[in-house]
Amino acid sequence: MSNTIGHILQLTTFGESHGEAIGGVIDGYPSGIEIDEDFIQKELNRRRPGQSKITTQRQEADKVEFLSGIFEGKSTGAPIGFIVRNTNQHSQDYEEMKALFRPSHADYTYYNKYGIRDYRGGGRSSARITISRCVGGALAKLALKQLNISIQAYTSQVGNIALENDYHRYDLSKTEESIIRCPDEEKSKQMEDLILQVKKDGDTIGGVITCIIKGCPIGLGEPEFGKLHAQLGAAMLSINAVKGFEYGDGFAGTQMRGSEVNDEFIRKDDGIHTATNHSGGIQGGISNGEDIYFRVAFKPVATLLKTQNTVDTEGNPTLLKAKGRHDPCVLPRAVPIVEAMAAMVILDNYLLQKTTIL
């Protein structure tokens, strides 16, 4: 089972949703970075359950404990070990599911691949495992801050309620004012109403998260199999419930002509830039210095509070009525996860580029 991401900056995660703790080890993190633990905890709080009426009402403190790699408030260059203890598991909610395969979950594939599965909340396949990613991403953000690289994601679509693709139209500083994490007040209210209705129906719904990376230097990414957009795409597609990734104009660009989407080069006071940014800040798999922007599609949460048809581990038809505390829409809590994965990919490629040019 592969549990590590990254080339130079590497995050290895461990733990299960109903185990003692979730944790990780970050290797290759640069030394001398001031570690703001309050900031890291705030990033975790953005992901944790029980934030609002549209998220699961589980109450987890999600308090991070650092075990190594930090001394006198700074990173030492040694591996940074951390854990977040699980404190509010209701394992009994899953007792009736231990011999069933939940529709659209990882139960069936895990069982066939490993011959065993942790049925309590999905075990290793649970979205709770993304806690480790948020810690790694928060640390990456602290390092990127010194490089004036910022990462901002927001909910741009829930169901059929969508914002314009052009992120310049919105004041992204208002994102955290919305429980949906949507910077448009009117659309945010519509999305909230839709999620509440879906929740009332015992159902779930998906949507899209948009992410913008500003200040990324030119030259990140490898020209063949390590293209920057491919690494970002792989990182995003590794997040639970993600079904799609596109950057720049993405699929919409297929409806246009080359004369409409080519980014012409111009001279500005501080150097060479592109007049437009249909490429999404990446050309030939390498960052070109413009804003990097991409969109991530999330499917509806697979756990429904409705009766569904399924089979047991022997293949016998049966019915499933899920219990427990589940999100009707994962997007608000997934925004910090998208940012975290982007931050780790960018910092990893920055460190890789530094070794390339030495």
> What confidence tens digit (pLDDT) does each residue in 46-61 have?
998 766 677 665 666 7
Enumerate residues 6+ apart whose C-beta is below 8 A from 44.
62, 63, 64, 84, 131, 134, 135, 138
Alpha carbon separation from 33 to 168, 220, 229, 261 (Å, rounded): 31, 21, 27, 40
Residues 317-332 have a mean pLDDT of: 86
Q: Considering the chain, what percentage of its residues have pLDDT values greater than 90?
A: 78
pLDDT in tens, 58-86: 666 799 999 999 999 999 999 999 999 99
Tally of CB atoms within 10 A around 356: 10
pLDDT in tens, 193-225: 999 999 999 999 999 999 999 999 999 999 999
**How far out from the chain centre does Cα 310 lie?**
29
DSSP-derived secondary structure letter, 34 = B
Per-residue pLDDT, 50: 64
Per-residue pLDDT, 256: 96
pLDDT in tens, 128-147: 999 999 999 999 999 999 99
Per-residue pLDDT, 124: 84
Q: How far apart are CA 29 and CA 76, in angstroms?
A: 9
